[in-house]
Structure 1
Amino acid sequence: MISAEKNDLMTRVGPDLPAGKLLRRYWQPVALAEELKGPRPLKPVKLMGQDFVLFRDPQGKLGMLDRDCPHRGADLAFGRLEAGGLRCAFHGWLFDASGQCLETPAEPAGSKLCTRIQQSAYPVVEKSGVVFAYIGEGEPPAFPDFDCFVAPDSHTFAFKGLWECNWLQALEVGMDPAHASFLHRFFEDEDTSESYGKQFRGASADSEMAITQVLREYDCPEIRVAPAPYGMQLTTLRKLSEAQTHVRVTNVVFPQAFVIPMSSEMTISQWHVPVDDTHCYWYAIFTSFTGAVDKQQMREQRLGTIELPEYTSRKNKRNNYGYSVEEQQSQTYTGMGMDINVHDQWACESMGPIQNRTREHLGTTDKGIVAYRRMLLEAIDSTMAGGAPPMQPNAEQASAFTGPPSIDGVASAADVETYCRDADLARRRSSDWACARLSA
């Protein structure tokens, strides 16, 4: 159980609030690169309660500015992309990607007003199909050389979705390995050869056993939590027999991402990004260690449950997440279909816009959540005292990161302790792009 004061401290993300100050010290996903395609590569962005406009200028350079024009506050999201920047539709004031005002066309000839006008602008960078922005103080940290950032574009795919709840309860579902045996339980196993692009539907590595069978039949796992340079690592063990143990290793990258296995060939790196206190986007980068990602298939699969342009879920609280009594009795534990994102969304949104953690009673399987909250509160305290937050690498430090290793497989009883390391290394050695990094 946690106090109401600490719950507010962790969840509220306004610019003058402790958690908001902390999260602003990290790169945050703000859009998919595909959202800036087409004849008008511009979109409004809301991040941690602040409004911005993100655009790609006529020269292809990315920019993100405060959304209100510094002249008289008109909405720059309706501006014109021309003449090297973004022009306000109210009086024609023109801004480049750095926020410098280039023209104030209605002013008298010879006016120098534009040289004194600087709109607030923010660093932006595109990584693996996701546009990241930095809206905090000082210099942003370097991007760590994680797999999702260093794999070739052909081997990554990015997508996102909107949830109507606070970012923290959405993030915490990724630190809770026990829930998968219940929330994501399927009463029948599909053909694992047809599982491409689907989480929890394939076979565990080094086994022909469907992951759905493992989760369904072995629902009382041993969970280990260990600190890691990037945050923490969770190892979930399900003893299948005296000879074999199912091993699943996932990672929390501080402050708000996790890296998990999707299949023996693919991992998912996912961020939960606050839109405001009561809404968040998840952004995911899928990374393949084998062949190129079939991006069209991955996108079409997700558009079956996600609706553009806001990337909202077709199954949501307004239609009871597609709940079916008949399905719940015979096919799935939730009765909410086969997409586990819908299951997670229901669980997180059902807690309320901001979970009231004063009413919860945590158990042994929540040890990852407990460890993360401790880490978060310590980082908030340190930041408010003027200290440096964790995971703020410079370029040299960032180049030393790799992985993080994320594995779902079956190990012999003698190899449980080394299985993740050995399986991760074997996967990298057989991967063209990851193998090249090993020998670099």
Structure 2
Amino acid sequence: MITQKLNDQITRIGPDAPAGAVHRHYWQPAALTDELTAGDLMLPVNLLGERLVMMRDEAGALILRAREASAGEAPSHHPARAELRVIEGGPVYPVVEKNGICFAYMGPGEPPAFPNFDCFRAPDSHVFAFKGLWECNWLQALEIGIDPGHASFLHRFLQDEDPEDSYGKQFRDKAANTDMPMTQVLREYPRPDIEVDETAFGLKITALRHMANDLTHVRVTNQIFPSAICIPMSREMIITQWHVPIDDENCYWYTMFTSFDKPVNKDLMRAQRLKEHRLPDYAPLKNQSNHYHFDPEEQKSLTYTGMGMDINVHDQWAVESMGAIQDRTREHLGRGDAAIIRYRLMLRKAIKALETGKPERLPMQDRQETPAIVGPLSNDAIADSDDWLAASLASDIERRKAAPWNATV
């Protein structure tokens, strides 16, 4: 457990908050390219506790400018465009579009370079971007993503559907090098050993599920500092997901789905997700107001949560049920929370670095070295228990060699 003072320090993200200062040293997703309109662009954006509008400057470049607060604004994260009024003389933030997401830099000095992550260097044809609203603080949204054990329970499917009919859905593929569905692996081996290693971009998290016949299922995921994750979706596709603070009590997840194989079917993936979300605010149709469509009959025979087949809904229920800002003064972390513990230490070190005037100590703040950061490795494999590390690396290299775009590391 931690003190309330520390919980406030690592969760609150306003301009004068310690964690907010850390976030402002990084590019943050501000909007989907799909949200941009032709002609006069005035797109409302609420980001890091600031009310902004995305527009074009005189040279046609995308920028974010401060906007006036609207009376009776509802919902606060997506007001009507007719209400938008910029504040003359207010801050102006640069915006860069990358494979379907518009990123903004709201920090001091020159923006940092983008690392050479797979989601950025893959061609547009192999990346699909989407987002969704969660009514909770960004940190609890991130922490569920760096907990490898939760998938065996929260996302437990009691029946294994045919992976051939599950394009664009997580945990519906077969585990690498086997005919066993991922849903079966997670269900039958629910308590992985977890190894956490610090990297140039954040953390590498390895979950080892020890199976019969001296085999081990190896699942490698990553925490990308300060608030993103990179995880395998299937053998051909990875997910890079940012947990972006709107304010202290709301966040968006922004996801890039990146394919190492064929071009992504963007129309299908968008249609799948629009069945679960409304526009223009990308709020989920299943939410607290309708109990996430909980069905006790489904819970008996199909899913652990009884809340449908979309794992985003499972995660949403888990993080929103903690309250707007999780009370960490009453928690008791254990061995399975190794990545969460390491991440919080990294965040506190970053806060301390800024407080002592040493921003260069933050991950990926070296403008010369950051573009050389590639990957990261995010996959799953099944191997002999005494050779799981080599097998994991070999599986990643094999996938990268077959990619029609330059995925080399």
TM-score range, shorter chain: over 0.9
Structure 2 counterpart of 1:154 = 125
Between 1:212-221 and 1:404-413, the stretch displaced more is 404-413
Counterpart pick for 1:396 among 359, 368, 374: 368
**Letter in structure 1 aligned against 2:380:** D
Residue-pair matches, total: 399
Question: Residue 22 of structure 1 aligns with which residue?
Answer: 22
Q: Per the alignment, in what secondary structure is the counterpart of residue 194 of structure 2? A: strand
Aligned to 2:48: 48
Counterpart code for 2:241: Q
TM-score by length of structure 1 reads 0.87
**Retained in 2: the 8 A contact 1:164–1:280?**
yes
For 1:422, the equivalent position in structure 2 comes to 394
1:350 deviates by: 0.3
Match of 2:248 in 1: 277
- Give, in whole Å, the separation in 2 of the partners of 1:255 and 1:51: 21
Residue identity matched to 1:243: D
Q: Partners of 1:225 and 1:311 in 2: how far apart?
A: 33
1:306-327 Cα offsets, whole Å, 9 max, x none, are: 1111000000000000101111
**Residues 59 and 78 (structure 1), Cα distance of their counterparts in 2 relative to 1, 3 Å cut:** farther
Task: Measure the CA separation in 2 of the matches of 1:39 and 1:310.
Answer: 21
Q: Aligned with 2:175: secondary structure?
A: coil
Cα shift at 1:76: 11
Are positions 1:330 and 2:301 aligned together? yes
1:287 aligned partner: 258
CA contact (8 A) 1:67 1:77 kept: no
Q: Residue 110 of structure 1 corresponds to which residue in structure 2?
A: none
CA drift of 1:432 comes to 1.6
Equivalent in 262, 277, 284 of residue 313 of structure 1? 284
C-alpha displacement of 1:395? 4.5
Aligned residue runs from structure 1 range 168-183, under 5 A: 168-183=139-154
- In structure 2, C-alpha distance between the alignment counterparts of 1:57 and 1:201, rounded to whole Å: 44
Counterpart position of 1:340: 311
What pairs with 1:94-105 in structure 2 (closer than 5 Å)?
none
Q: How does 1:405-416 map to 2 (within 5 A)?
A: 405-416=377-388
Please give the secondary structure, in 1, of the residue aligned with 2:251.
Answer: strand
**Within 5 Å, which residues of 2 pair with 1:29-428?**
29-56=29-56, 60-68=60-68, 78=82, 118-388=89-359, 389-428=361-400
Offset at 1:381?
A: 1.2
The question of whether the paired residues in 2 share the 8 Å contact of 1:68 and 1:76 is answered with: no
| Distance across 2 between alignment mates of 1:79 and 1:279 | 21
Separation of aligned partners in 1, 2:309 and 2:89: 50
Distance 1:197 1:274 in 2: 26
1:26 partner SS: coil
Q: What is the SS of the residue equivalent to 1:433?
A: coil
The CA distance in 1 between the partners of 2:142 and 2:322, in whole Å, is: 13
Deviation at 1:420, TM superposition (A): 2.2
Corresponding residue number in structure 1 for 2:74: none
Distance in 1 separating the partners of 2:80 and 2:112:
28
* Structure 2 length-normalised TM: 0.93
Moved more, 420-429 or 122-131: 420-429
For residues 77 and 315 of structure 1, the distance between their equivalents in structure 2, rounded to whole angstroms, comes to 26
Question: What CA distance in whole angstroms lies between the structure 2 residues aligned with 1:395 and 1:20?
Answer: 21
- 2-side partners of 1:387 and 1:132: how far apart? 24
Shift of 1:40: 4.4
Identity %: 53
CA distance in 2 between partners of 1:169 and 1:118 (Å): 35
Bigger Cα Rg? 1
Deviations 1:86-144 (A, max 9, x none): xx6xxxxxx9xxx9xxxxxxxxxxxxxxxxx7442111100110000011111211100
1:391 is displaced (CA, Å) by 2.2
Change (3 A) 1:3 1:334: same
Please give the alpha-carbon distance, in whole angstroms, between the structure 2 residues aligned to 1:121 and 1:52.
Answer: 9
Aligned equivalents of 2:344, 2:378: Cα separation in 1: 22
By relative contact order (CA 8 Å, sep 6+), the higher-ranking structure is 2
SS at match of 1:46: strand
Residues in 1 aligned to 2:65 and 2:369: alpha-carbon distance in whole angstroms: 29
Give me the whole-angstrom Cα distance separating, in 1, the residues matched to 2:317 and 2:211.
30
1:245 positional shift: 1.2
**Distance in 1, Cα, partners of 2:159 & 2:97:** 40
Instruction: Give the equivalent residue in structure 2 for 1:2.
Output: 2
1:414 Cα shift?
3.8
CA distance in 1, matches of 2:279, 2:80: 22
The alpha-carbon distance between structure 1 residues 76 and 199, as it changes in their structure 2 partners (threshold 3 A), is closer
For residue 109 of structure 2, give the secondary structure of its aligned residue in structure 1: coil
Q: Letter of the aligned partner of 1:412 in structure 2?
A: D
Preserved contact between residue 232 and residue 251 of structure 1 (Cα < 8 Å): yes
Name the amino acid aligned to 1:236.
A
**1:165–1:279 Cα contact (<8 Å) kept:** yes
Helix, strand or coil at the partner of 1:335: coil
Closer, same or farther in 2 for the Cα pair 1:251/1:373, shift >3 Å?
same
Alpha-carbon offset, residue 36 of structure 1: 0.3
Mind listing any 5+ residue stretches in structure 2 that lack a counterpart? Answer: 70-78
The alignment's C-alpha RMSD in Å is 2.0
CA positional deviation for 1:10: 0.3
